[in-house]
Amino acid sequence: MRFQHGFFLLLLFLFSMVGHAQTIPGDTTDVVEILPGVRKLEYRKLPDGSEVQILAGNVRLKQGSTIFTCDSCVLNDVEKTFLAFGRVHIWDSDTAQVWSNNLRYLYDKKYAYLNGNVRLTDGKGTLTTNNLEYDVARRIGTYKNGGKVVNKRTTITSNEGTYYADINDVTFKNNVLMKDPANTIKTDSIMYNTELRIARFIARTEITDTSGRKIVTKGGTYNEITGRTEFTERTTIVDKSLTVTGDEIVSDDETGNVQIRGRGVLVDTAKGISILANSIFANRKSEAFLATQKPLMIVKQEKDSIYIAADTLFSARLSDLFVDTSKNAKKPAANDSTNRYFEAYRNVRVFSDSVQAVSDSLFYSFKDSVFQLFQDPVVWTRKSQVTGVP
C-alpha cells in the first residue's frame, strides 16, 4: 500500500513538471522559466556529471520580460546556456523581435548568438543576415558577415553593422551601399535612423541621384522624407555643367535651393561663369544665385576673362527679367548661354586686360555683352579714362 502511494506521488510530480512553469537555478536576474505547454521534457546526465534538460514541441521560455520560442531546446544550468533549434523567436519588447533557425543563449549574460535566416526588427526597419550577435538586455544586434536593412523603400547593405533597436539607429561599416527612389549612396561608414529616416555621413561618401547629379562629401545628414541634405564637411556637387564646392552646403531637393557657406565656389562651364564667395545662395530650378561676403565673379570670354567684385552679386535668366508676352515669343533654349544677366551692388570693381572700372552698381547682359555702370562710374582703358555724370 505504501509502494502504491509513493508511485502515485512520483507520477504526480512528473506531470507537474511538464504542466507547470519551471525555472532554471540562478539569481533573480538569471532565472529562465519553462512555460507550460511543452510536449516532451527529458532529463539527461552528461559524462561530466552535469544534467541538461531537453525540450521538444511548442517550447516557450521566459527570462524577465523576454520570451523565447522554438521547436526544441537543450538547457544546461551548469554552463547557464541553452541551445534552441527550429523557428527560433525572441520577443523582448513591444517592437524589438528576432527570428532565426538556431540560437545559443548565455542566459547569465543575456547574450544571444543566432544563425540561419536571421531577422531583427524594431517595428520600423528590418535587418536580415545569416549570423547575428544580439545583446538581449540592451537590444543591440551586431553582424560581421554581411547584412541588409530594409525600411519602406530604402535598402542598405554592408559587410558589418550594429542595430540599436531601442533608439532605431543602425551603424553600417565596410562596403556600404544605400539605395532609395531618389539616390544611390556609396561609403565606408554611415549611420541611419529607421524612424526618422535620416542618414548621417561619417566617412567619405559618394551620392548619385536619378538626374545624374553627383556629390562627394565626408560629413553631413540626408533626410529622406524632406529631401534635405546638410553637409558639414567640405563638399563638391557636380550637376551637369554646374560644379559647386563649399565648407558647408545645405540642399533642398523639393525647392531646389542650395546654400553654400565658407570658401564657396560655383562654376558653370556651359555659361562660362565662376563665382567665389563665403556665402552663396542658389536655386537649381531657376538657375539664379546670390553671392555675398567678398564675392568675385569671373566671366570667361574667347580671348580674355572679366573679373567683377562687389559687396553683393546676383545673377539669373534674362528671360525671367524681361517677359515677352507676345504670341510669337520663342522660349530660349535651356543651354542658351546668352539668356543670362548679372547685377552687382556696392563697391563694384571690374578688371580685365583691356578695361577696368569702378561704380556703385552694375548691370550686365550676356545677350549684348554691354556693361551698365551706375552712380559715379569710372572706366579706364589702355589709353583713356571715362567718368560718368554724378
Residue whose C-alpha is closest to residue 219's, from 208, 209, 205: 205
Residue 201 lies in a domain: no
Sort 198 into a burial class: Cβ within 10 Å, 0-12 / 13-18 / 19+: middle
Residue 309 lies in a domain: yes
Distance CA 326, CA 319 (A): 13
Residue 381 lies in a domain: yes
Residue 13 lies in a domain: no
The domain tally of the chain equals 2
Residue 24 lies in a domain: yes
Q: Which three cell numbers stand for residue 69?
A: 520560442
The verdict on 386 and 261 lying in the same domain is yes
What CATH number corresponds to the domain at position 34? 2.60.450.10
Sort 259 into a burial class: Cβ within 10 Å, 0-12 / 13-18 / 19+: middle
User: pLDDT tens for residues 133-170?
Assistant: 999 999 999 999 999 999 999 999 999 999 999 999 99
Residue 9 lies in a domain: no
Domain end residue (candidates: 85, 118, 151):
118
User: pLDDT tens for residues 298-344?
Assistant: 998 877 899 999 999 999 999 888 666 555 556 655 567 788 999 99
The verdict on 374 and 246 lying in the same domain is yes
Q: For residue 270, give the DSSP letter.
A: T
The verdict on 375 and 241 lying in the same domain is yes
Q: Which three cell numbers stand for residue 42?
A: 527529458
Q: Do residues 307 and 295 touch, judged by C-beta distance below 8 A? A: no
Domain end residue (candidates: 89, 118, 147):
118
Name the pTM for this structure: 0.86
Distance from the first to the final alpha carbon of the chain: 130
The verdict on 106 and 244 lying in the same domain is no
Its domain, for residue 46, covers 18-118
| CA dihedral sign of residues 163, 164, 167, 173 | negative
Domain end residue (candidates: 118, 145, 180):
118
List Cβ neighbours of 198 (8 Å cut-off, separation of 6 or more): 192, 221, 222, 223, 224
Residue 103 lies in a domain: yes
In 3-state terms, what secondary structure has residue 242?
Answer: strand
User: pLDDT tens for residues 85-138?
Assistant: 999 999 976 778 999 999 999 999 999 999 999 999 998 999 999 999 999 999
Which ranges in the chain belong to alpha helices (H)?
2-19, 318-321
Residue 32 lies in a domain: yes
